[in-house]
Amino acid sequence: MELNNTEKKEICSFDKNIVRNILVAKPDKYKLLETISHRNREIINTGSSLSYSPLSFGEDIICLDFKKFNRILDFNKNEKTITVEAGITLIQFLNFTLKHNFWIPQLPGYPSITLGGAIATNAHGKSCSTHGTIRNSIKSILLFHKINGWMNLSEKENKEIFDLTIGGLGLTGTIVKITFNLTNIENTLFITKKKKIKSVEECNKVISNYNNSSYFYSWHKADNIKNFGEGIIFENIIDKKKIIDFKGFKDKNYKLKPFLFPVWNKLSIKLCNLLYLYLNRLSTEEKTESFLKVIFPFYSKESYFNFFGNNGFTESQLLISESKINDFMSEFKNIFKIHKPTITLFSLKKMSGEQSYLRFEDNKVCLTFDLIKNNSSNNFMNEIDNLCLKYQILPSIIKDSRIPKNIFDKTYRYANDFREKLNKFDKKRVYKSEVSKRLEL
């Protein structure tokens, strides 16, 4: 078979930290997927390449771009299940399920992410304190592995590989089809309520009582040590009164393309934060918001990422015990005073689940912050790595492309378990990426 479905391409991690020239293959038939896999020594699967760290490419590794496999294969309304190909994007998926008042509530925050990519990173959505990660909605998976062939994976069939695959960063093979258990959704409108808070510590106290409300996250000003953490908690509740007909989403094709020169700096961030806080104080405490605005907060606000320019940024996402937040924040502010990094975003939400293998999941608070990349942020992040060890914090390897191997080994208690089981399943270790090589997975 002639392999004219391949091209040489420059691929970049979403945080712009790693760039590589890569050979990308775009199979459109299962037979071609098998042929390309058999012809190449090292392979990695690629969805929409929207991972902050280089999970879906690597030097001298062929990328299997799966975007052409995006069909809906089966839908059973009575059993509330749907089977789709893994290259389908979230927006394509929702345009079908929402028509029938169904969805899965663990959707990561950008509509062109693929479901294959979401499963391989065990993604979570805004309601992760209630609904946990996408793992909770998966019924079964069809996997193709170059050596082990076609495999059905579920709690009942090949359970060990099923568990390794969810959050397994594409290292167990190609996720071809997925069957999801669907959840009812009454409406595609949300009511958003706002609560002002003075600090991250106050936010932690407030959200610890939010057990029954499904969707919430906070935004904090973190541009200055004075009033550090002043901000707002946003709570989104599905509007069960003003029910609207779902008309379908149009994919607007907004551009995620960095500006030639960065716009973000200490001054521009300070001004934007002040304006954001001021506008939120002026607007009503409660308003109705669309599904896209609530579930995909950066959709139509791509400028936030583009403003970092080609130099990129660093995102850190940390899972930390509720009881350790105050001590952690006190040390965080001390090192902030010393290194003076420029933090462009700071947010908190709660998460539920059980940590295992490489999965970013636990019954903890999830703290996220973005930084302009420079020497001061690098020095600051080296100190955050040490705080991760001190406070038994789990840093996300999906978001932070910088995490050193020694920090990963010490914070991911089940990483060796993952390595051993993966090596037993695939002695030749076919599926590899820049991240898997660096972390020796």
Ligand X SMILES: Cc1cc2nc3c(=O)[nH]c(=O)nc-3n(C[C@H](O)[C@H](O)[C@H](O)COP(=O)(O)OP(=O)(O)OC[C@H]3O[C@@H](n4cnc5c(N)ncnc54)[C@H](O)[C@@H]3O)c2cc1C
List residues binding ligand X (CB under 6 A).
14, 44-51, 55-56, 66, 86, 108-110, 113-114, 116-118, 120-121, 123-125, 169-170, 174-175, 298, 398, 433
Q: Least distance (Å) from ligand X to the CB of residue 262?
A: 18
Q: Choose between 203 and 295: whose C-beta lies nearer to ligand X.
A: 295
Q: Least distance (Å) from ligand X to the CB of residue 81?
A: 19
Q: Least distance (Å) from ligand X to the CB of residue 243?
A: 26
Query: For the chain, how big is the Rg over CA atoms in Å?
Result: 21
CA distance 222 to 234: 17
Q: Choose between 113 and 372: whose C-beta lies nearer to ligand X.
A: 113
Q: Choose between 88 and 335: whose C-beta lies nearer to ligand X.
A: 88
Please answer whether residues 392 and 383 qualify as being in contact, where contact means their C-beta atoms are separated by less than 8 angstroms.
no
Q: Least distance (Å) from ligand X to the CB of residue 332?
A: 22
Residue 198 to residues 14, 80, 216, 349: CA-CA distances in angstroms?
32, 43, 17, 16
Q: Choose between 151 and 335: whose C-beta lies nearer to ligand X.
A: 151
Q: Least distance (Å) from ligand X to the CB of residue 132?
A: 11
Q: Least distance (Å) from ligand X to the CB of residue 11?
A: 9
CA distance 15 to 30: 32
CA distance 76 to 182: 10
Please answer whether residues 315 and 384 qualify as being in contact, where contact means their C-beta atoms are separated by less than 8 angstroms.
no
3-state secondary structure of 56: coil
CA distance 355 to 411: 11
Question: Encoding tokens for residue 290?
Answer: 């669309």
Q: Least distance (Å) from ligand X to the CB of residue 119?
A: 7
Please answer whether residues 58 and 64 qualify as being in contact, where contact means their C-beta atoms are separated by less than 8 angstroms.
no
Q: Choose between 221 and 399: whose C-beta lies nearer to ligand X.
A: 399
Q: Which residues of 229-267 are buried (b: 16+ CB within 10 A; e: fewer)?
A: bbbbbbbbebbeeeeeebeebeeeebeeebeeebebeee
> What is the DSSP code string of 207-241?
HTT-TT--EEEEEE--SSSTTTT-EEEEEEEE-SS
Q: Least distance (Å) from ligand X to the CB of residue 62?
A: 12
